Amino acid sequence: MIPLLRPRRKPNWELQVAGMVCRACAQAVEAALRRVSGVELVRADSRTGRVLVWGAEVDLDALREAAEAIGYEVVQHAPTAGS
């Protein structure tokens, strides 16, 4: 597995997404959230359900809708210090 480079700044949102049980699930969530306006970068971890989102002008409802559109649920969210 190729190690992922870490962005230099903190994410703007941290989400907890239910239903991600494998790497393919995490990749699907990343792809869906990347299509949301304002999103610069997404990192999802299927082991923990944690999703980090970078992008200063990202709408939480749009993130939630994107996840739900492909069958996942945002069960918890919080802006981070990068917000």
Domain annotation covers residue 17: no
pTM for this predicted structure = 0.84
Q: For the chain, give the mean pLDDT.
A: 88
Domain annotation covers residue 68: yes
Instruction: For residue 47, give its domain range.
Output: 32-83
CA distances from 63 to 5, 58, 73 (A): 23, 8, 10
pLDDT exceeds cutoff 70 at 29: yes
**Token pair for 16:** 């907890």
Distance CA 10, CA 76 (A): 18
Domain annotation covers residue 57: yes
pLDDT for the residue numbered 80: 72
Domain annotation covers residue 11: no
Domain annotation covers residue 65: yes
Domain annotation covers residue 70: yes
Q: Tell me how many domains the chain contains.
A: 1
